[in-house]
Amino acid sequence: MTKASTTPESRDDGEEIRWLTAEERRAWFALASLVSRLDSALDTQLRRDSGINHFDYVVLATLSDAPDRTMRMSDLASLSSGSLPRLSQVAARLESRGWLRRTPDPTNGRYTLAVLTDAGQAIVIGAAPGHVREVRRLVFDPLTKAQVQQLAAIGQRIARTIDPADHWLARSTEAPQPTGE
């Protein structure tokens, strides 16, 4: 991927390798740096100001936006971009703090529901203003309105290529939520 030449080559299996151009490499390194550093920066702010990490906040905020603050664990894992085993560990921790409750799905016992408690909702409401300020400071304040629109279009296009059924795409086109991401 970092080969200096942009001349196509063929691998042993005959597949052509299209190396990145210098401009594509600059764009790729900028994106890779952003992806790896943004979550860490948001995690730092949330830990400092609210005592929770970014993934915890995403889980709680996603439940906060759900009807009756309830969602199947499998759907919550997908929407929070986490695996079901990771979400199960986080849910156990959040449950021990009284912020989340797990219960069998009454419509289908094979599923487990995650329910945001009143205490969990209070955590989301308390953390949301600082989180939104940090998102605004890190992401939106440095950009023009046109760049924000470009960022949305670029992000949606890449996400759709990675996963055409990406649940975040549906969320990104909805009206903003006062207590959500």
Domain ranges of the chain: 25-126
Domain topology for 25-126? Arc Repressor Mutant, subunit A (1.10.10)
Express each pLDDT in 64-116 by its tens digit.
Answer: 999 999 999 999 998 888 888 899 999 999 999 999 999 999 999 899 999 99
Percent of the chain residues past pLDDT 90, beyond the cut: 70
Give the predicted TM-score (pTM) of the model.
0.79
Q: What share of the chain is helix, strand, coil (3-state, %, to 5)?
A: 60, 10, 30
